[in-house]
């Protein structure tokens, strides 16, 4: 990956930029590199955080000491070697590792899907066709960001891609399943947002009291399963209990 770059990200992190844009093949390279780094687990490594086309490597160093400065330089040189040694075979091996599939129940009733009719009209499809296509997708979590637990999903059917709202909503309910351009995502908590709301899940996506606070992690697969309003209310009650 000689085209990749490494740049400082503050005093104790490095950003490895493999490219730009939203592309499944590029994101697969990112995750392959994450596996390579985590498998080696050098002593200065604290955390690796993948994004669509880059990854941040956080270092367990004290940047205010000579040893920390030396470790920062050592980490940069080591990461450069990993980039140069990476190959298409790494990506193939990474993609062959079985990924956990998480099923997300989604209610597509009008109260939970205020933008479903607009998406259907934009695509020239019926509501039922949009729901069927949305549930047929084999999604992968490209990264987690924006808000704690918010998954950015690759795998949306191109027919469902739609621009964001011209004016974002000031309030998007927690659990809203959304489309933003060619991306899919789920709002883990109530917040402002400009993505198109196609449904809503009763599942909690983030809880700081959990051993792993995020329900979904980068690299996992996601499938959506349609449920009716009664099932939504029942599952929501179970989650709150």
Residue 31 belongs to domain with CATH number:
3.30.1360.40
* Cα distances (angstroms) measured from residue 18 to each of 22, 54, 175: 12, 6, 32
Residue 57 has pLDDT above 60, yes or no: yes
| Single pTM value for the model | 0.87
Same domain, 120 and 140: yes
Same domain, 92 and 122: no
Angle at 193 between CA 107 and CA 208, to 5 degrees: 75
The reported pLDDT for the residue numbered 97 is: 54
Q: Which of 44, 67, 96 is the last residue of a domain?
A: 96
Same domain, 74 and 107: no
The reported pLDDT for the residue numbered 86 is: 78
Model confidence at 18, in pLDDT bands (50, 70, 90)? very high
The reported pLDDT for the residue numbered 91 is: 61
Residue 51 has pLDDT above 80, yes or no: yes
Same domain, 30 and 81: yes
Q: Which of 96, 118, 136 is the last residue of a domain?
A: 96
Same domain, 137 and 166: yes
Same domain, 135 and 80: no
What domain range is 23 assigned to? 5-96
Pairing between β-strand 221-227 and β-strand 183-186 as defined by DSSP bridges: unpaired
Per-residue pLDDT tens over the stretch 74-106? 999 999 999 988 776 556 555 555 578 999 999
Q: What is the CATH number of the domain that holds 210?
A: 2.40.100.10
Q: Which of 56, 74, 96 is the last residue of a domain?
A: 96
The reported pLDDT for the residue numbered 31 is: 92
Please tell me the distance from the alpha carbon of residue 150 to that of residue 154, in angstroms, as a whole number.
Answer: 13
Instruction: Work out the mean pLDDT of the chain and round it to a whole number.
Output: 91
Total count of domains within the chain: 2
């Amino acid at each position: 990956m000689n085209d990749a770059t490494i740049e400082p990200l503050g005093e104790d992190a490095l950003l490895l930029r493999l490219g730009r844009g939203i592309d499944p093949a590029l994101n697969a390279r990112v995750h392959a590199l994450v596996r390579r780094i985590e498998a080696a687990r050098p002593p200065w490594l604290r955390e690796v955080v993948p994004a669509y086309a880059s990854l941040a490597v956080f270092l367990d160093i004290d940047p205010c000491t000579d040893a920390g400065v030396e470790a920062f330089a050592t980490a940069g040189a080591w990461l450069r070697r990993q980039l140069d040694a990476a190959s298409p075979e790494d990506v193939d091996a990474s993609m062959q590792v079985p990924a956990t599939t998480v099923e997300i129940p989604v209610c597509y009733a009008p109260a939970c899907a205020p933008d479903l009719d607009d998406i259907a009209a934009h695509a020239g499809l019926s509501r039922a066709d949009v729901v069927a296509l949305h549930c047929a997708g084999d999604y992968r979590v490209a990264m987690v960001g924006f808000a704690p637990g918010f998954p950015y999903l690759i795998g949306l059917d191109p027919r469902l891609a739609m621009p964001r709202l011209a004016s974002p909503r000031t309030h998007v309910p927690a659990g809203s399943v959304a489309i933003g351009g060619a991306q899919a995502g789920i709002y883990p908590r109530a917040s402002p947002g400009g993505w198109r709301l196609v449904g809503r899940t009763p599942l909690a996506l983030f809880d700081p009291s959990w051993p792993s606070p995020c329900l979904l992690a980068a690299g996992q697969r996601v499938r959506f399963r349609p449920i009716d309003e009664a099932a939504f209310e029942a599952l929501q009650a179970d989650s709150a209990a």
